[in-house]
Chains A and B, each alone.
Chain A
Amino acid sequence: MRVLIVDDSSVMRKIVARGLRQAGFKITDILEAGDGQQGMDLLKTDSNFKLILSDWNMPIMDGLNFVKSVRGGPPAIKNIPIVMVTTEGGEGKVGAAMEAGANGHIKKPFTPETLQQELERFLK
């Protein structure tokens, strides 16, 4: 089972990766991208992901445009579930991402238990 983490913060990518492992998911590979554009570039050559976790605030291509790009992308990637990992709550920004096709939202800070609860349906 493979997961893609899209976040401009190297620390946050490490935190999410560690949280996924601590949550007990049987993940074989965790790949990372530093912004939405890097994420799209990676997905063009490698689409075998069970889940994408994406930040909102990123340079070059933010989380909202990344979600839109994936959903408007080729069949191999357009249905990969995307969960937003942000500090913002359920208001405006997250609502816009969900409307654009995001499948869920996790608020920072989070615990491995939160990840387990929120992501189990995607990583069974």
Chain B
Amino acid sequence: MSGADSTELMNKLLTGLRLAVTEMMTAMAMSEVVFAGQESADSFTLTNEVVGLVRLDGQLQGMVGVSCSQSLLREIVSRIVGLAPDELAMEDLLDGAAELANMVCGGMKTKAQIGSVQLSPPVSIVGQEYTAQWKTNHPTTVFTFQMDEGVLMVHASL
């Protein structure tokens, strides 16, 4: 794949990713989410308590991550599954962070209309005792979304 093709594919996925986050939060979590900015970084520390990750393979390799505070995750998962936030167990939060990343990436692929990129099963980290350093060979695009209950970050290294 030429450099121009790769850049076009990356831009399609990034646009799809941004749209997918908004659509997923509106349709499934019934939450208002506002796009609050975009930046690029070579490496950073994931300071949020919650991270959901999906690896991309195929025509384009990379990683997409969703991160937020544990209280925001609890609120989002609560809305999606229809249970009170305090009824959610740690297993629900771990699965919730993973599914959040999974659904955002699924939505990204659909929006970008790219079938030649495969998604790995999602993984998640929840808890203050873990700190993850995000380092890749290419700059990471970081989208920030503002919700009533906090800030949701979406990181994409493509």
Which residues of A pack against B, CB within 8 Å? 9-12, 14-15, 18, 57, 86-91, 107-111
**Interface size of B in residues (CB-CB distance below 8 Å):** 27
Q: Decide if A91 touches B80 in the complex (CB within 8 Å).
A: no
Shortest beta-carbon distance from A67 to chain B in Å: 18
A11-B119 contact given A87-B106, A89-B109, A111-B27, CB 8 Å threshold: no
- Is B49 on the interface with A (CB-CB < 8 A)? no
Q: Give chain A residues whose Cβ lies under 8 Å from the Cβ of B121.
A: 57
Q: Decide if A109 touches B24 in the complex (CB within 8 Å).
A: yes
Q: Decide if B106 touches A11 in the complex (CB within 8 Å).
A: no
Which residues of B pack against A, CB within 8 Å? 23-24, 27-28, 77, 80-83, 89, 91-92, 95-96, 98-99, 102-103, 105-107, 109-110, 115, 118-119, 121
Q: Decide if A11 touches B103 in the complex (CB within 8 Å).
A: no
Q: Decide if B103 touches A109 in the complex (CB within 8 Å).
A: yes
Among the listed A18, A90, A110, which residue makes an inter-chain contact with B82, where contact means beta carbons less than 8 Å apart?
A18
Q: Decide if B27 touches A109 in the complex (CB within 8 Å).
A: yes
Q: Give chain A residues whose Cβ lies under 8 Å from the Cβ of B83.
A: 14
Q: Give chain A residues whose Cβ lies under 8 Å from the Cβ of B82.
A: 14, 18
Q: Decide if A87 touches B81 in the complex (CB within 8 Å).
A: no
Bound: A11/B94 CA distance, A? 9
Among the listed B91, B95, B119, which residue makes an inter-chain contact with A87, where contact means beta carbons less than 8 Å apart?
B119
Q: Decide if B95 touches A12 in the complex (CB within 8 Å).
A: yes
Bound: A11/B74 CA distance, A? 12
Bound: A110/B20 CA distance, A? 12
Q: Decide if B28 touches A109 in the complex (CB within 8 Å).
A: yes
Q: Decide if B80 touches A87 in the complex (CB within 8 Å).
A: no
Q: Decide if B105 touches A87 in the complex (CB within 8 Å).
A: yes
A107-B110 contact given A10-B92, A14-B81, A18-B82, CB 8 Å threshold: yes
Q: Decide if B106 touches A88 in the complex (CB within 8 Å).
A: yes
Among the listed B92, B95, B103, which residue makes an inter-chain contact with A108, where contact means beta carbons less than 8 Å apart?
B103
Q: Decide if A91 touches B28 in the complex (CB within 8 Å).
A: no
